[in-house]
Amino acid sequence: MEPVKVGLLGLGTVGQGTVNVLRQNAEEITRRAGRSILVTHAAIRNLPKAEALDLKNLDLTIEPTDIVDDPSISVVVELMGGLEPARTLVLRAIDNGKHIVTANKALIALHGNEIFAAAQEKGVMVAFEAAVAGGIPIIKAIREGLSANRIEWLAGIINGTGNFILSEMRDKGRSFEDVLEEAQALGYAEADPTFDIEGVDAAHKLTILASIAFGVPLQFDKVFTEGISAIAQEDVIYASELGYIIKHLGIAKRFDGSGIELRVHPVLIPQKRLLANVDGVMNSVMVQADAVGPTLYYGAGAGSAATASAVVADVIDVVRTLTSDPLNRVPHLAFQPGALADVPVLPIEDIWSEYYLRMEAEGRPGVMADVTRILGDQGISIEAIIQKEPESEGASVSVILLSRRVREGVMNQAIERIEALSSVTSRVTRIRVETLA
């Protein structure tokens, strides 16, 4: 059989990993796919930089349309990132009858509905395993492995850069900026690293996971999103004193039959829980499903070879199904296109959680009483409270407390009242406590 020709849009961290894995494991891949797979073309912006890689038998171009319009190419692998020109190029490749593999979660989360509809019409596949949790085959696990189940919730560490930063800050006392720089050098971070540290990247991934888990359309704009940039070294220390570890989680959960929660934010996790012990660039997702119960997935969440593993697996899937009936392939979002449910996404004020609160306050008697009175007025019970000694006479003190479960809207009111106290000299840092996984 003729080899299948693949064109890459992008030859950076993931693009180079993809070429390497396809070439290094060519023999095994051919045995799995039933045909050999050749990467023949790659589009880049900076030609001298790509030429310096000295990759053999690879035509380089600075014009991506050379690839999406090339009739000899059957599969276009989009690894350039960003929304444009990626969206336009992917739609043009689909229009030309090409199958798409992409690692671009931003593109799928924001334009997936449009891209899948175009692909459906043309009878081509759009595969995006690498878009969520790097090398972990979580899309396949949920979409195919768990397809017998009603999924109740999933919770996961789904940004490698953020987890790497939090782990290094905690274990080695390194500064946020220093670790971020290393994550960028290692190729983990997004082109715009604020996507990693402000939770946007995790929100893109959660959008995709929620659609596949619950059979709802992609709705990135409904995800409550908070990053790790506000986490201070002292929060990491106080959390540890209380028996918790701070992680950044994406959570998608059915709530009381009234809707679904979609949220990404830092959480305190009890130290003994599995997710609390997922460190560095590793990702992990726990899925609670009705028939199988809990299942846990773990692996490298970013990086060249690990992500390429997922990209190449998608290419193999595409090649295997080149001759199959397009109408009977696994649907892009797990559920049949006409069967997506119109379940409301709940506002963040309606979630229930326990909370870690930290504030700076004047170092005088009565402050703690003021704070606990406000919480009492709002009907919020306190699990633990710590007041640190002032470092010097008249210096402010840190007050840290853990609340019991309460509705977020009620906690918001309490925080507003605490911040209005003249004795409280800082904003209140709030981190939700998560005991699901």
Active site amino acids: 205
Partner that binds at residue 112, options ligand NDP, ligand HSE, none, CB closer than 5 to 8 Å by kind: none
**What does 211 interact with, of ligand HSE, ligand NDP, none (CB < 5 to 8 A by kind)?**
none
Please, are residues 81 and 106 in contact by the beta-carbon 8 Å criterion? yes
Q: Which does 303 bind (CB under 5 to 8 A by kind): ligand HSE, ligand NDP, none?
A: ligand NDP
Shortest distance, CB of residue 196 to ligand HSE, whole angstroms?
A: 5
251 by DSSP, 3-state: which? strand
Cα(82)–Cα(270) distance, rounded to whole angstroms? 36
Instruction: Give the nearest distance from C-beta 30 to ligand NDP in angstroms.
Output: 25
Report which secondary-structure segment, H or E, holds 283: strand 282-289
Do 277 and 427 meet the contact criterion of CB atoms below 8 Å apart?
Answer: no
Number of other residues whose CB lies within 10 A of the CB of residue 369 = 9
- How far is 224 from 350, CA to CA, in rounded Å? 12
Nearer to ligand HSE, 159 or 396 (CB): 159
Q: Measured from the CB atom, is 301 or 363 closer to ligand NDP?
A: 301
- Work out how close the CB of 369 gets to ligand HSE at its nearest, in angstroms, rounded to a whole number: 44
Closest approach of ligand NDP to the CB of residue 210, in Å? 18
**Beta carbon nearer to ligand HSE, 313 or 414:** 313
Contact 18, 303 (CB under 8 A): no
Q: Which residues in this chain contact ligand HSE in the complex, by CB under 6 A?
A: 134, 159-161, 188-190, 196, 201, 301-302
Q: Which does 159 bind (CB under 5 to 8 A by kind): ligand HSE, ligand NDP, none?
A: ligand HSE
Nearer to ligand NDP, 183 or 268 (CB): 183
- Peptide bond before residue 85 is cis, with ω within 30 degrees of 0: yes
Q: Which residue's CB comes closest to ligand NDP?
A: 12
CA 291 to chain centre: 25
List of residues contacting ligand NDP (CB under 6 A):
10-15, 43-46, 49, 64, 79-81, 85, 103-105, 130, 134, 187-188, 190-191, 302-303, 307
Please give the helix or strand (H or E) that residue 178 lies within, else none: helix 176-185
Nearer to ligand HSE, 260 or 308 (CB): 308
User: Which of the listed partners (ligand NDP, ligand HSE, none) does 284 bind, with a CB threshold of 5 to 8 Å by partner kind?
Assistant: none
Quick one: what does residue 145 bind among ligand NDP, ligand HSE, none, with the CB cut-off 5 to 8 Å set by partner type?
none
- Could you tell me if 260 and 254 are in contact, meaning their C-beta atoms sit under 8 angstroms apart? yes
Q: Could you give the CA distance from residue 146 to residue 153 in angstroms, rounded to a whole number?
A: 13
C-alpha 161/C-alpha 142 separation (Å) is: 23
Q: How far is the CB of 160 from ligand NDP (least distance, A)?
A: 7
Q: Which residues of 39-69 are buried (b: 16+ CB within 10 A; e: fewer)?
A: bbbbbbeeeeebeeeebeebebbeebeebbe
Identity of the residue, 195 or 238, whose beta carbon is nearer to ligand NDP in the bound complex: 195
How far is the C-alpha of 309 from the C-alpha of 46, rounded, in Å?
25
Nearest approach, Cβ of residue 203 and ligand HSE (Å) = 12
